[in-house]
Amino acid sequence: MENEKVMQPLSFDELLPPSAKRRVHERIALKIREFAGVAIDQILNPWELAPYVKLKVVSIREIQGLSEEARKQLLRMDGKGWSGGASRPLPNGWRLVFLNPTHGKERQAATLMEECCHVILGHSPTRLRTEEAGENINFRNFDDNQEEVAYAVGAAALVPYYPLKHAVQAGLNSSKIARRFAVSRELVEYRIKVCRLWEEYKHLQKSAG
């Protein structure tokens, strides 16, 4: 990656990971990138995609009337708390998305991409939660399966299998791949693992080291 060009695949099958489940996710992710007009080896910017699925990103700091206790809970920096959420649809059909501003841009990208995927996949929340923010703001809660699929598809859209495999085989480490796609190292390593590239990645990294 970096300054090298990713070779064009010889067939569509090369674009897909070996797992049947992940192949389904990858196909959807590739359609999302096609819709966004982004080449397979280019950065997909979720902030540019969000308006096309009627999502407006708003800082939690812009919300009026939040108690200090609720604000502290929402802005936790320990990595264990809230990372983002979306409101119920507004009368005009749009939803507001709130991202934790204490998180890095790369983590926010994954959170926003997941919210975009919930909309694209037609997911419906199972309930609304209010406990983290008092009675002033409600976030949608999806069931575990919807959360898993939305995150998996979003991660695949941000880091497609084909250029990821190319980068792994070129010996690039996860930090360099993450910088290339403007995502976190953790998301890259998640993708390497679910795409069944982890053993090859570890072997090549050990050889290079």
Q: Write out pLDDT tens, residues 88-121.
A: 888 999 988 888 888 889 999 999 999 999 999 9
Give Cβ neighbours of residue 181 (< 8 Å, ≥ 6 apart): 43, 44, 158, 159, 188
Report yes or no on 2 lying in a domain.
no
User: At which residue do the structure tokens 């080449």 appear?
Assistant: 39
Q: What is the mean pLDDT of the chain?
A: 85
Domain count within the chain = 1
Q: How many CB atoms lie within 10 A of CB 18?
A: 10
Report yes or no on 6 lying in a domain.
no
pTM of the full predicted structure? 0.84
Report yes or no on 1 lying in a domain.
no
Burial degree of 26 (CB within 10 A; 0-12, 13-18, 19+): buried
Report yes or no on 188 lying in a domain.
yes
Residue 131 belongs to domain spanning: 12-208
Report yes or no on 31 lying in a domain.
yes
Report yes or no on 194 lying in a domain.
yes
Question: Of the candidates 93, 90, 82, 104, which has an alpha carbon nearest to the alpha carbon of residue 186?
Answer: 104
Report yes or no on 49 lying in a domain.
yes
Round to whole Å and give the CA distance between 102 and 72: 11
Report yes or no on 4 lying in a domain.
no
